[in-house]
Amino acid sequence: MKHRFLIVEDSLLIAMDLEEAISRSGHEVIGIAPDMTVALNYAREADIAFVDVRLADGETGPELARLLTGRGLTVIFVTGNPMLVEGRDAGALGVIAKPLTQQAAADVIQFVVDWKGGKQRRPPARLRLFRPFSPAA
């Protein structure tokens, strides 16, 4: 199944790297948003979102994650400082620290796609989950 990703990142280079990894994985990027307002405009078209914590409009990532998860999106924080979401996970599935290699991005993409499909497995090494999981047998 092809998934639709929203990238919420104010650094265009980082966003483009994620976009390339998502496309290589066979999924679609419906938009790149530098802030909460643009992200919310794209939200109805996406089912998965990669969200940074510090955006062009401030440290709005956790609030945005809460709104996106409330609309049914699966959210992964992608941030340079994962400690910023401690206690502020806002319903997100997990957090991974930047920078991401192409392999790390591909691993996270595959993990979240599997999760959406009901296949729960051990997360990639750098991804810290906020929700419990059951390792695949």
**Do 22 and 29 form a contact (C-beta atoms < 8 A)?**
yes
Q: What CATH class does 4-129 carry?
A: alpha beta
Q: Sketch the domain layout of the chain as residue ranges.
A: 4-129
Reply yes or no on whether the pLDDT at 137 is more than 50: no
Residues 67-106, buried b or exposed e (16+ Cβ, 10 A)?
bbbeeebbbbbbbeebebbeeebbbbbbbbbbebeeebbb
Q: Which residues contact 75 (CB under 8 A, 6 or more apart)?
A: 48, 49, 50, 51, 65, 68, 69, 90, 91, 92, 93
pTM above 0.85, yes or no: yes
Q: Please, are residues 51 and 61 in contact by the beta-carbon 8 Å criterion?
A: yes
CB 48 within 8 A of CB 116: yes
**82-129, pLDDT tens digit by residue?**
988 877 777 899 999 999 999 999 999 999 999 999 998 899 989 999
pLDDT on residue 83? 87
